């Protein structure tokens, strides 16, 4: 079959599978969540009628009150207990909001109240989101050699074949990411957030590091929480490092798929071949080969290996 025709056939198959996958998810979520929603709606209606029966408040006044309360809660302002004693816009909370904005996590628990704040959010995200992606990409490029290329080369030097070596490395890296950025943080969150279970911690970590950010679980929002500002800063660091490791994991999988021919089979773009030593290459090359400064001879022993001699996905035999 012609390559163009095969490409369009694969694209059509992807779209059909995507639609089927969405329908499958809709059916599962509807069957699981709708009965719980109906029960909750029935309980709330019963509680409302019980309250009206025990007070002198009429239904219209109660509805008006609840609308205002729910609208304020939508913007992160609660009337429960002493929740209003802590501002959602102190320095630490504002920085936490800015972090969730530029990382596209966006929990939605705290949102701008004013039109000026909304307009600034647009401009701030317009600059901050690409810049954050740039910083994450630069960090991942620096981590590719010590965490990906060097371990794969080490596995190959032990006698393992190239393709199994990349699979073993990916599984080890996946295990490390799951333990360090899902299981361990979930244990911490379930201990610090008294209303969270361990499953809630796993759920929050996954939703956050996939930048889904549903907002049903947000750390540091409980009234009277100790060291709240320090806790929020710690969560910010966790989100940034976690997103960096998720990007590294995806990039490693993409390179492994290139090596195994999966991207070629599916006619998908290959992972760009970036030079892991580009930060050690001079920006401007000099042609004065006969002029060798004395200090270069002193650095000869500590000079890094040439890019072609270092283990990389480019040097692995694909045959």
Q: Where are the domains of the chain?
A: 7-79, 86-268
**Euclidean distance between CA atoms 97 and 110, whole angstroms:** 7
Cα Rg, the chain, nearest whole Å: 27
Would you state the pLDDT for residue 261?
A: 84
Q: Map residue 209 onto helix, strand or coil.
A: helix
Looking at the predicted structure, is the pLDDT value of residue 308 above 70?
no
Would you state the pLDDT for residue 61?
A: 85
- Find out whether 202 and 182 touch, Cβ atoms under 8 Å: yes
The pLDDT-based confidence of 298 (bands split at 50, 70, 90) is very low
Q: Map residue 183 onto helix, strand or coil.
A: helix
- DSSP 8-class letter at 149: I
Mean pLDDT score, 79-94: 73
Would you state the pLDDT for residue 272?
A: 57
Q: Up-side HSE of residue 9: CA atoms within 13 Å toward CB?
A: 8
- Find out whether 167 and 263 touch, Cβ atoms under 8 Å: no
**Euclidean distance between CA atoms 239 and 246, whole angstroms:** 10
Q: What angle do CA 198, 204, 208 make, to 5 degrees?
A: 150
Looking at the predicted structure, is the pLDDT value of residue 192 above 50?
yes
**Euclidean distance between CA atoms 200 and 193, whole angstroms:** 10
The pLDDT-based confidence of 310 (bands split at 50, 70, 90) is very low
pTM of the model: 0.74
Please tell me the class of the 86-268 domain. mainly alpha
Lowest mean pLDDT among 46-60, 63-77, 272-286: 272-286
Q: Map residue 277 onto helix, strand or coil.
A: coil
């Amino acid at each position: 079959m012609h390559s163009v025709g095969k490409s369009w056939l694969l694209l059509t198959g992807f779209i059909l599978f995507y639609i089927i996958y969405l329908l499958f998810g809709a059916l599962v979520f509807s069957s699981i969540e709708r009965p719980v929603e109906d029960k909750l709606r029935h309980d709330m209606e019963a509680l409302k009628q019980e309250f009206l029966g025990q007070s002198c408040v009429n239904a219209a006044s109660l509805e008006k009150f609840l609308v205002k309360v729910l609208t304020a809660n939508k913007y992160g302002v609660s009337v429960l207990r002493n929740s209003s004693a802590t501002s959602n816009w102190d320095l630490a909370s504002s920085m936490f909001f800015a972090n969730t904005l530029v990382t596209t996590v966006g929990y939605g628990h705290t949102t701008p109240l004013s039109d000026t704040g909304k307009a600034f959010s647009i401009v701030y995200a317009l600059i901050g989101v690409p810049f954050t992606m740039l910083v994450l990409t630069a960090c991942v490029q620096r981590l590719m050699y010590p965490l990906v290329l060097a371990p794969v080369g080490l596995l190959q030097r032990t006698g393992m074949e190239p393709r199994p070596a990349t699979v073993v490395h990916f599984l080890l890296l996946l295990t490390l990411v799951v333990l360090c950025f899902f299981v361990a943080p979930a244990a911490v969150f379930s201990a610090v957030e008294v209303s969270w279970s361990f499953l809630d911690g796993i759920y929050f970590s996954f939703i956050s590091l996939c930048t889904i950010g549903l907002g049903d679980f947000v750390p540091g929002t409980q009234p009277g929480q100790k060291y709240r500002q320090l806790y929020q800063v710690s969560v910010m660091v966790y989100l940034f490092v976690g997103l960096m490791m998720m990007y590294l994991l995806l990039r490693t999988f993409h390179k492994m798929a290139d090596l195994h021919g999966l991207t070629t089979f599916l006619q998908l773009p290959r992972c760009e071949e970036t030079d892991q030593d580009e930060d050690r290459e001079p920006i401007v090359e000099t042609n004065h080969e006969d002029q060798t400064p004395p200090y270069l001879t002193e650095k000869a022993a500590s000079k890094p290996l040439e890019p072609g001699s270092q283990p990389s996905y480019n040097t692995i035999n694909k045959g």
